[in-house]
Structure 1
Amino acid sequence: MDYTHHGQKRVKPSAEIEKFRKEKEATKIKEYKNLVASCFQKRDKKEFDKDALALTTKILSQNPDFYSIWNFRRLILLEGILKECSEEDTRKTLSTELDFLQEIFQLNRKSYWIFNHRRWCLETMQNPDWNMELQLIGKFLEIDARNFHAWGYRRYVTSKLSHATETSLIQIEFDFTTTKINQNFSNYSAWHQRSKLLPLLIKEKNLNEQEKKKLIDKEFELVKAAFYTDPDDQSAWLYHWWLVNGQDSTISMSLSEKSKESSSILNQDLSIITSERIELLQHEISMVRELLELEPNSKWCLQTLANLLIELKRISETNIEENSKIDDEVITICDRLIKIDKFRTKRFEDLRSKIISAKSLVKPVSQELE
C-alpha cells in the first residue's frame, strides 16, 4: 500500500524484504548478547587484559550508555593495562582512550557515562590538556547550545583550567554566556550558568554600589529583550525572578557581612535595601504590565506579575486598602491563568483561595471605625 512521508511517495516494503530485515536485526542482537556474555565472563574471572578491553570497545560502540561495561573498562585499565606502565605509556593509553570517547560521542552527546569516563581519564592522566578540552566542549555547544551535559562539563573544565593556570576565567565565561544567549534566548543552561557567574564577577571585580547597579541594570535589559522576543519562553523569566530575588541576597550586599556593625547602622542598611527593593519591584511591575498589553495571554508574564505583586505587598508597609487592591489584582490574574494554563489550574485555584481567605480575615479601616 502506498503512503506519503514528508511529501514523498513511498511504498511499503514487501514481505520478503521485511523478513530479511528482521533476520538481519536478530543476527545483530544475537551477536551483541554474545559480546556481553563474553565480557561478563572476563569480568567474573578478573581477566583484565587487552582482549577484555577490545570486548568493551565493541559493546560501547553500539551502546554507550551501558554503565556496567564502563565500570569494567576502568577496572581493566587500572588493574591490568596501566598497572605496570610508565608515565609516558600511561599517557599514550589514556590519550587513545580520549580519542575513542570523542568518536562515540557521535552516538550520544548527552551520555552521562561518556562524560563520566572522560573525567576519569583526565584525572588519571598526568598534566591533561585542559585547553583542548575547552575547545572540544566549545564545539559541542556550537552543535547544540542547550546541551546541559556539555554546560556542566564546561564548568568542570574551566574550574580545572583556572586552577592549573592560576588564571580567572569568570569574565571570559560570562561573555560566553552572553554570546550563547544572544544567539538564542531560549537556553536554560546558559541562563543558569550566568546566574552562577554573575555573583562571582561582582566579587572578583570588587564593584562599588554604583558599578554593581549598572551591571545589574544591564542584566534586566537583557532579560527584557528576551521577553519581547519570545514572551512564552520560560528560561528568561526564571532568570528574571532570580535577579529580582537576588537583589537582597546573592547580588546585593549581604546583611551577614554587616553583622559586625552596630544595630543602628544595620537597621539603616535594612531600610535602604528595602527602599531600593520596593523601587525595583515597582519598576519591574510596570515593565511586565506594558508587555501584557502586547501579550495579554502570556502565562509567564501573568505569573511573574502575580509574584512581583505578592512580593511587593510582603515587604511594603502599605495600608489595608492598598493591600486589598493588590489582592484583587492577583485574584484577577489567577482567574485568567486558570483559563489559560489548564495543566496548572489547581495551583492557581489554591493561590486564589488562600488570598480570598486572608482577605476575609482583614477588615477595611472604614469597618473598624464603625
Structure 2
Amino acid sequence: MHGIKRSRLSAQAEEAKRIKEQAKIEAYVGLQDDVLARKRSKDYTTEALKKTTDLLDLNPEFYTIWNYRRHIFLRGLFPNTNLQGIVKLLSTDLRLTMAYLQVHPKVYWIWNHRKWCLENCPDGPEGTEGWKNEFWKMELLVVEKLLDSDARNFHAWAYRRYILASLPKSYTPQRSAQDELRYTRKKIESNFSNFSAWHCRTKILAGVWEGLSEAQVQSQKDQEFELVRQALWTDPEDQSGWLYHRWLIGSQPPEPTLRRELESIKELNEAEPDSKWCLNALAHYLLLFAGSPWTETEEADNARKEAKEILRRLAEIDSDRKERYQDLGKPPQVIRAVLMILSFSTIIKLC
C-alpha cells in the first residue's frame, strides 16, 4: 500500500517460506504422479475418484484428469450402481464444477465437464425424462445467475446457447427464439457494452431470418438498427455497438438502408467529431457506398474523397494504426492487388 514501508523478510523467514513452497510443490507432484499411475493401471474406484478431486482442486485446468474422471464414472462406478446412484454422482459433480467456476469462470474444461454430466443423466423411472428435465431446468437457473453476476462472460453465453439447443423435447416450457431475443435485449439495455449479448443476438437472429422473406428480414433489421442506434448515441466510444451495426449492414446492404445509416452516423459525428469508432464506421460505409453497383459515378467519387479525408483524420487521432488507415485510403485497384499478394503469401505459408 502507498505510504507504508515494505519490510524485507529476514534470512530465516525467507528460508521458511522457501521450504513451505517446496513442500507444496512436492505434495502436488506426488499427488499428480499417484493419479496418473492410477490412470495407467485403469483404477476406476471411488478412491481414484477422490484422488482426481484432490488434484483438480489444485489444478482445474488439468484436462487429462477430467478425462480420467469420466472414465472412472463410465467404466467403474456407473455399472455398479442404480439409476438413482448415477444421478447422485452426476449431481455431486455439477456442484463441484460450480464451485470451480466461481473461482475459474473461464476454464473450458470445467464447462465441458458440466456438459458431459448433463448429457449422461439417465431418464427418470419407467422411461420418463423427469430427472433429465430437472437437470436442464437447474442449468438454466445456474447460467442466468452466472450472467447476473458477470453479464459479459462469453463462456456463460456460449453455455447458455448450448443448453437451449440441447433441451429434451419433453422439457416444458420450451424456450423460443423470441424469448431469447427478449433476454438478450434486457441484458443489452442494462449495459450497452455487453458484447457477448450483442454476439448472442446475431446467432439468434441469423436462425430466425432463415425462414423469412427478404422484406420481413429487412423489417426486423430496421428494428435492430433502432436498438443499436441507442447504444451508439449513448456511448460512441464503445466498440460493441459498432460491431453489431456493421453486422446488420452486411456486405451488400439495400440502397435506402445504407443512405439512411450514413446520414445517421454523420449526424452523430457532428456531435462527436473526434470519436474514433464513429469515424471508422463513416469511412467504411462511405467506401461501401462508393463501391455499390447502384451508386452513380459522381457520387462514388465524392464518397471516396470524403472517406479518404476521414482516414487522414483517423491517422492523426489514432496514430498507432496510421499505416492501416493509409492503406485503406489507397485506390481500390491498389487495395485489391495488396489483398491478392497477402492471399498468395498465406497460401505459400500453408504449403
| TM-score, normalised relative to structure 2 | 0.85
- Among candidates 275, 279, 283, match of residue 306 of structure 1: 283
Determine the C-alpha separation between the residues in 1 that align with 2:169 and 2:296. 54
Return 306-315 or 14-23, whichever deviates more.
14-23
| TM-superposed deviation, 1:283 | 0.9
Task: Report whether the alignment pairs 1:220 with 2:203.
Answer: no
Task: Report whether the alignment pairs 1:152 with 2:158.
Answer: yes
Determine the C-alpha separation between the residues in 2 that align with 1:229 and 1:18. 53
Determine the C-alpha separation between the residues in 2 that align with 1:280 and 1:338. 28
Structure 1 unpaired stretches of 5+: 249-276, 359-370
Aligned partner of residue 88 in structure 1, secondary structure = helix
Determine the C-alpha separation between the residues in 2 that align with 1:353 and 1:98. 56
Quote the sequence identity (%): 39
Q: 1:115-144: CA deviations, max 9, x gaps? A: 101111111111422111000011111111
Task: Report whether the alignment pairs 1:278 with 2:283.
Answer: no
What corresponds to 1:262 in structure 2?
none
- Among candidates 136, 139, 151, match of residue 142 of structure 2: 136
Does structure 1 retain, via aligned residues, the 8 Å contact 2:93–2:117? yes
- Among candidates 65, 69, 75, match of residue 73 of structure 1: 69
Return 99-108 or 34-43, whichever deviates more.
99-108
Determine the C-alpha separation between the residues in 1 that align with 2:3 and 2:95. 39
Task: Report whether the alignment pairs 1:241 with 2:239.
Answer: no
What corresponds to 2:167 in structure 1?
161
Does structure 2 retain, via aligned residues, the 8 Å contact 1:53–1:73? yes
Q: 1:66-111: CA deviations, max 9, x gaps? A: 1111111111111111122222211111111112112222220111
Determine the C-alpha separation between the residues in 2 that align with 1:227 and 1:13. 51
| TM-superposed deviation, 1:357 | 5.7
Return 31-40 or 180-189, whichever deviates more.
180-189
| TM-superposed deviation, 1:173 | 1.1
Give me the CA root mean square deviation.
2.3
Determine the C-alpha separation between the residues in 1 that align with 2:75 and 2:258. 60
What corresponds to 2:234 in structure 1?
229
What corresponds to 1:292 in structure 2?
269
Determine the C-alpha separation between the residues in 1 that align with 2:34 and 2:9. 37
| TM-superposed deviation, 1:322 | 2.2
One-letter amino acid of the structure 2 residue matched with residue 245 of structure 1: G
One-letter amino acid of the structure 2 residue matched with residue 114 of structure 1: I
Structure 2 unpaired stretches of 5+: 124-131, 336-351
What corresponds to 1:326 in structure 2?
303
Determine the C-alpha separation between the residues in 1 that align with 2:91 and 2:20. 35
Aligned partner of residue 44 in structure 2, secondary structure = coil
| TM-superposed deviation, 1:203 | 6.2
One-letter amino acid of the structure 1 residue matched with residue 272 of structure 2: E
Describe the shift of the 1:345–1:162 C-alpha distance in structure 2 as closer, same or farther (beyond 3 A): farther
Task: Report whether the alignment pairs 1:31 with 2:27.
Answer: yes
Aligned partner of residue 122 in structure 2, secondary structure = coil
Does structure 2 retain, via aligned residues, the 8 Å contact 1:285–1:309? yes
Does structure 2 retain, via aligned residues, the 8 Å contact 1:64–1:107? no
Aligned partner of residue 61 in structure 1, secondary structure = helix
Aligned partner of residue 9 in structure 1, secondary structure = coil
Whichever of the two has the greater Rg, that structure is: 1
